[in-house]
Amino acid sequence: MLQPHRPPARSVFGSLVLIAIVIGASAAAFAYTAGWLSPQRLTPDKMVDALTPPTVDPLGHRRNHAKGICFTGIFEANGAGSALSQAQVFTRGQYPALGRFNVATPDPKAADATVRVRGLGLLISTPDGQEWRTAMIDAPVFPASTPQAFYDLLLASASKDPDAMKTYAGAHPEIAAFGAWAKSAPWTGSYAEDRFNSLNSFIFVDNSGAEHAVRWSLLPAAQPVPVPPDELAKRGPDFLEQEITQRVGSGPQHWTMVVTIANPGDPTADPTKVWPEDRHIVEVGTLTVERIEAERDGPCRDINFDPTVLPTGIRTSDDPFPAARSSAYAKSYDRRTAEAQDYPRTTTGAKP
Ligand code: HEM
């Protein structure tokens, strides 16, 4: 008669030890990822928590740039970018574009004239199945030089200590360039008149494999008309989306995409530092916004304009921001999509 096979006692013990090691290692990995082993470490959760002031109800919305409106259109490449990057998006031709105009506030109900920074999220798709996602702002520099400094700035601006911002600025004098822009740059009455800048640096890889450190911007075709913010306030809390809906309704709006190439030694890891004016600039194409669509029902609502989603031919540089942004945007995306019942889609929504 066959006897049931009994493994030797030592091998059972060995298996149990192995299982314990695997479970222990997984638990340690979870604990590390959650930041429990290093409470000082900056996690996406902490970053996203710090973005939302206690007075704001963000449920269902982006945790920054919460107020915005979708658009669709075309990116027409003129072919000049192909000398810098092998990405198909720079080959002469037309590619579908999807985007979102927005104001840089965590409050989806903020009045437009109270928000200094405006943004533009953009996704361009190419027939090779690749995508270029980017999120740009109208400021020419970022207020913080590292993700940790940005987090500290968020904490300082939310602090009850009346000296917190002064203390922050003392420790981070690099905020001055952004401060000067915020104080003196003219406001416009339209997204169509604004310039949008990547600020972060990326690497273009050309067909020979050579690399070029770059930043990019969208320059408006419309002439900017300065309007003081108290004048803008009279136009109503949502004047920006009303104006762009009307404007695009009467004709497509255009921006020229320009790529600025760094000289060797230009700072690529710090978006508080502008590059000198004489850097080589290449016009690579035109973004045409053809149609405005309400965000609530629109195609940009469930898009994460993650700046690390890049086609072959564009990659991240030593700039630490895109990776930090990617993880924070993913956290924001997870939260807002899990809260969809707090921001329900509506088929009767005010579609422009
Ligand atoms: C560490 C620094 C940053 C953090 C933590 C951060 C955080 C965020 C978050 C959480 C969102 C919402 C994402 C979503 O739910 O889809 C967002 C959106 C956005 N951010 Fe940032 N951001 C940072 C830096 C920047 C920089 C440097 C720029 C521009 C140069 C920028 C431009 C934008 C724009 C335009 C949007 C709106 C995109 C859209 O319409 O979905 N951000 N940011």
Identify the H or E element spanning 85: none
Report whether residue 75 contacts ligand 1, using a CB cutoff of 6 Å.
no
- Ligand 1 mean position, distance from CA 329 (Å): 7
| 103 ligand 1 Cβ < 6 A | no
Tens digits of residue pLDDT in 303-341: 999 999 999 999 999 999 999 999 999 999 999 999 999
**10 Å Cβ neighbour count for 327?**
18
- Is the CB of 134 inside a 6 Å radius of any atom of ligand 1? no
- Over residues 81-97, the pLDDT tens digits come to 999 999 999 999 999 99
> What pLDDT was estimated at residue 351?
46
- Residue 69 C-alpha to ligand 1 middle, in angstroms? 15
Q: How far is the CA of 306 from the centre of ligand 1 (A)?
A: 8
Residue 29, pLDDT score = 66
Q: In Å, how far are 185, 277, 334 from 139, measured between CA atoms?
A: 9, 16, 27
C-alpha 135 – ligand 1 centre gap (Å): 7
145 pocket-lining for ligand 1 (C-beta < 6 Å): no
For residue range 216-267, list pLDDT tens digits in order. Answer: 999 999 999 999 999 999 999 999 999 999 999 999 999 999 999 999 999 9
Tokens of 142: 């970022």
Digit-coded pLDDT (tens) for 97-121: 999 999 999 999 999 999 999 999 9
**Short-list 78, 79, 82, 80, CA closest to 208:** 82
Beta strand pairing status for 118-125 and 131-137? antiparallel
Q: Which of 325, 339, 343 to mutate to test the pocket of ligand 1 (most atoms within 8 A of CB)?
A: 325
Residue 33: count other Cβ atoms within 10 Å of its Cβ: 10
CB 301 near ligand 1, within 6 Å:
no
User: For all residues of the chain together, what is the average pLDDT?
Assistant: 94
Q: Which two tokens stand for residue 24?
A: 């222990």
Given ligand 1 and candidates 201, 329, 334, 343, which is best to mutate, with the most ligand atoms within 8 Å of its CB? 329
CA of 174 to the centre of ligand 1 (A): 20
Residue 135, ligand 1, Cβ within 6 A: yes
Q: Is the CB of residue 139 below 6 angstroms from any atom belonging to ligand 1?
A: no
